[in-house]
Amino acid sequence: MLESWTGINMEKFKKIKTIVTPLDQINVDTDQIIPKQFLKLVQKSGFGKYLFYNWRYDENENQKQDFVLNDNKYQNSKILVSGENFGCGSSREHAVWALQDYGFSVIIAPSFGDIFYSNCFKNGILPIQLEERMVEKLKHESGELEVDLENQFLKTNTEQIPFDINSYKKRILLEGLDDISQTLQLHDKISEFEKHSKIPSVL
Amino acid sequence: MGKTLFEKIWDEHVVVEKANSPSLIYVDRHLVHEVTSPQAFDGLRMNNRTVRRPDLTIATMDHNVPTKDRGLPILDQTSAIQIQTLEKNCKDFGIQLFDINSPNQGIVHVIGPQLGITLPGTTIVCGDSHTSTHGAFGALAFGIGTSEVEHVLASQTIWMDKPKSFEIRVEGKRKNPHAVTAKDIIMAIIKNIGTAGGSGTIVEYSGQGVSDLSMEERMTICNMSIEGGARAGLVEPDEKTFDYLRNRKYTPKNYESLVEYWRENLKTDSDAKFDKTFTLRIDNIAPQVSWGTNPSMTCDVTESVPFPEDYSKGDQNQKKSAERALEYMDLKSGTPITEIKIDRVFIGSCTNARIEDLIEASKVIKGQKVAKNVLAMVVPGSQMVKKEAEELGIDKIFIDANFEWREAGCSMCLGMNPDILSPGERCASTSNRNFEGRQGVGGRTHLVSPVMAAAAALEGHFVDVRKLDWD
């Protein structure tokens, strides 16, 4: 079905290798990832500076030294490792836009909020679900971690860790596909469905 | 083998299906609001696309709208721009909008059912996680991200992996259904299954404890499905469902023939199997109060703030998270819940701002006054709820008790408008999320039912509403 895709609106996901940023918390909700005061913007860009805003800055907008993103060591990290149920709560895609604009392209956690998980794939971010034991280990990984989506593994200095991903979603990221153009090619099937729908229009 | 209600609705909406790939699902109703739609409309413009079915798309403005002085311009420029952007987008793409001055304006999940836009057996999406609310009518209703909003606008469909099914049975009868409410039932469920208990599933709420509930109570239950991790929650429709939707403004003309079909078909078969089940008995449940920073951090009003080691049951990550929550909430383990003093009370949100919520809360406060030092407000879920309440004289009861009586919107559930907590303020709130900073940076939220919020407003601290003498 994917063969005929034409539209391309995302960058293709490439192999990356950086150190990991450990965010040692469970249930990180999207209200924390991007607080509501920044949801009023009407564009998709520029959300990175507001990422984890209330955790990064105090009431005088000074950096909180104990927050991991404020540690210079992690400046160039593209991989965030966190606890279970990452991205739970609000459906705001702004959370993904903020992570991406800040520079993250991989999020590793034992589990994710359902809506957040779908939102990632629409924006070229790879969410990787791993066993909790493995996630704990990665949080303490001091060297660089290589993420190879094509071959579905992570590689530290000492080990190679395979991960699972739905083949359809994998292809979306690797090829940077725009699913709307794909769907619009199914126009006839959608029209056919509409002919038989029992549900009337609203108006 | 039989099918669950969810599976039947799913099967009826599959446009394209292929093994090991997501299915293309048709969307019957697309609800749109100002916060999660601007980038989606921009995407359409950039690609010269149109809205496929404006007649299945309805928009309103709820998150940003001020709840007082509707006659004045909106002071917050970014809010004003977002609202104007929705107006322009709806005009450009031919979408019906209930704007700030419309009598139909209100929280999108409150107006959908009130207007008869929400229907059983339909698929309903909105760029908002509390879209699960509409599941109370036996609809498959779930929140989506902005990219998906764009996809639905363009194609009236959505790609989705078929979720698993999760039956939550609510058994028994509450001894005092005025004091122990639907809010307490859903909070007790989330306390038990956890915030990720429903991840990857669609919940079907069943059992006598659910069929006994009114439609508005069922909406409160389904609303908070997402707080238990489930993208959608639904209830098998029955005569209460069909009666509620009859003769609404947008109830379809062929409604009775639809009802006949729904009555016959929208049922979980007796031999259907769920992937997961959980049962809650409600005969003896108490009013619930959240003490932490996610909705599963909840206890009975008769209990004390827990010790992290008791809450976490040996899980180190849960323990750390409870410690952090107690620090944020400025609470000490062992403090009785009824000794927690509050500064603010918020009765509102898509969880608990419908007419029954306001009626029940007004009974608690009738003839009494809000405690000194407590600021209390009521924000009706829609202008229609507000009007109905005013016709019943409920606004007077609240105003006489020193509650502020506001215009409709999401308001202090998430504080995108001027209604926010100041740092350190503690609020008894009928909303759905007690996340850090949700109601204002540094604000502390305790989730409760409308009657518990009303009682707390009078006393200045939490009280077991079962002990109060009211009608």
Judging contacts by C-beta atoms under 8 Å, the chain A residues touching residue B29 are 202
A151 touches chain B (CB under 8 A): no
* Residue B209 · residue B185 · CB < 8 Å: yes
Does position A90 have pLDDT exceeding 80, yes or no? yes
> Chain B 148-177, CB below 8 Å of chain A: which residues?
148, 150-151, 154-157, 159, 161, 163
* Residue A85 · residue A66 · CB < 8 Å: no
Sorting pLDDT into bands at 50, 70 and 90, what band is A11?
A: confident
Residue B363 neighbours by CB under 8 Å, 6+ apart? B178, B451, B470, B471
B422 touches chain A (CB under 8 A): no
B120 touches chain A (CB under 8 A): no
SS3 state of residue B41:
helix
- For residue B437, what pLDDT is reported? 97
- For residue A10, what pLDDT is reported? 79
Beta strands in B232-387 (DSSP E): 232-235, 276-281, 288-290, 298-300, 344-347, 375-378
Residue B309 neighbours by CB under 8 Å, 6+ apart? B319
CA dihedral B155, B111, B141, B14 (to 10 degrees): -40
Please report which helix (H) or strand (E) contains residue A190, including its range: helix A187-196
For B155, the closest of A29, A122, A190 (CB atoms) is A190
- For residue B318, what pLDDT is reported? 96
Task: Report CB contact under 8 Å: B156, A40.
Answer: no
- State which amino acid sits at residue B125: V
Residue of B nearest to A171 (CA): B21
A36 touches chain B (CB under 8 A): yes
Residue of A nearest to B202 (CA): A114
B101 touches chain A (CB under 8 A): no
Residue of B nearest to A191 (CA): B15
Average pLDDT over residues B161-165: 97
Task: Report CB contact under 8 Å: B321, A122.
Answer: no
Residue pLDDT, tens place only, A168-183: 899 999 999 888 998 9
* Residue B97 · residue B193 · CB < 8 Å: no
- For residue A202, what pLDDT is reported? 85
Q: State the smallest CA–CA distance between residue B181 and chain A in angstroms.
A: 23
For A198, the closest of B53, B143, B261 (CB atoms) is B261
Residue B10 neighbours by CB under 8 Å, 6+ apart? B23, B25, B140, B162
- State which amino acid sits at residue B382: S
Residue pLDDT, tens place only, B130-140: 999 999 999 99
- What is the distance between the alpha carbons of residues B266 and B263, in angstroms, rounded to a whole number? 6
- What is the distance between the alpha carbons of residues B320 and B309, in angstroms, rounded to a whole number? 9
Residue whose tokens read 């239950």? B221
SS (H, E, C) B292-329: CCCCCCEEECCCECCCHHHHHCCCHHHHHHHHHHHHHH
Judging contacts by C-beta atoms under 8 Å, the chain B residues touching residue A88 are 195-196, 229, 294
Q: State the smallest CA–CA distance between residue A201 and chain B in angstroms.
A: 6
Cα distances from A97 to residues A33, B211, B252, in angstroms, run: 10, 41, 39
- What is the distance between the alpha carbons of residues B172 and B139, in angstroms, rounded to a whole number? 25
Angle at A55 (CA atoms; ends B430, A121), nearest 5 degrees: 85
- What is the distance between the alpha carbons of residues B331 and B244, in angstroms, rounded to a whole number? 42
Averaged confidence pLDDT in chain B? 97
- What is the distance between the alpha carbons of residues A91 and A199, in angstroms, rounded to a whole number? 26
- For residue A4, what pLDDT is reported? 41
Averaged confidence pLDDT in chain A? 93
> Chain A 37-76, CB below 8 Å of chain B: which residues?
37, 39-44, 54, 59
Task: Report CB contact under 8 Å: A25, B324.
Answer: yes
Sorting pLDDT into bands at 50, 70 and 90, what band is A2?
A: very low
B59 touches chain A (CB under 8 A): no
CA dihedral A43, A44, A45, A47 (to 10 degrees): 100
Residue whose tokens read 């204002």? B440
Q: State the smallest CA–CA distance between residue B458 and chain A in angstroms.
A: 30
Residue pLDDT, tens place only, B100-124: 999 999 999 999 999 999 999 999 9
Length of chain B: 471
Look up the ipTM and state it. Answer: 0.96
- What is the distance between the alpha carbons of residues B1 and B12, in angstroms, rounded to a whole number? 17
